[in-house]
Amino acid sequence: MGKRRYVESEEPQSRRDVLTPVDIARHTLLHSCHHIVSMNIRIKKLHSDASLPNYAHGPQEDAGLDLCAIERVVLEPGVAQAVPTGLAIELPPGYEAQVRPRSGLALKHSLTVNFGTIDPGYRGEIRVVMFNLGRATYTVEKGDRIAQLIVARYEAIQWQEGEELGESARGAGGFGSSGR
């Protein structure tokens, strides 16, 4: 068993080895942070050359799995283009997959992707909508890492319509309400 935390108190020595609820919560948090829960998700290669999404540095270091292009695609400046991955997935109910940009492509090549949601009922090919925000064409080569895939849980929503909403410090302040 690990080290025991002691309660600092004025009580007699016999009571000082009692763990408080705060100590237990702190211990649980410290030890649960290092454990990554994994889940199995069905995936289908629609093309034999498709690459399964993978973590560049492992699940302890990365939240996103890299998605790779299955074919060569030329991205013209200012034009959206769907880049195929050759993959389809089966998400369980209550989960979605988010397609997100890779920061290196954005910074080095002015490329980004449409933040997309893959719903649990979708069984078609994952295609990444890419945008070239630069001034020159950019060629995505077969096998290039083009986006990240994040699988996340979501809650089903039931609206409660009403005449009034609760007060908040922000109120109805929208775009730019927090400053520059």
At 153-167, the pLDDT tens digits run 999 999 999 999 999
- Please report, rounded to a whole number, the percentage of residues in the chain having pLDDT higher than 70: 79
Per-residue confidence band for 7, with pLDDT thresholds at 50, 70 and 90: very low
Sorted by where each begins, the domain ranges of the chain are 1-35, 42-153
CA dihedral 108, 110, 111, 116 (to 10 degrees): 110
**Topology of the domain comprising 42-153:** Deoxyuridine 5'-Triphosphate Nucleotidohydrolase; Chain A (2.70.40)
Of 53, 39, 119, 122, which Cα lies nearest the Cα of 86? Answer: 53
Q: What is the pLDDT of residues 36-85, one digit of tens each?
A: 778 899 999 999 999 999 999 998 889 999 999 999 999 999 999 999 99
- Please report, rounded to a whole number, the percentage of residues in the chain having pLDDT higher than 90: 66
The structure tokens 């449409």 sit at 114
Q: Quote the pLDDT of residue 29.
A: 56
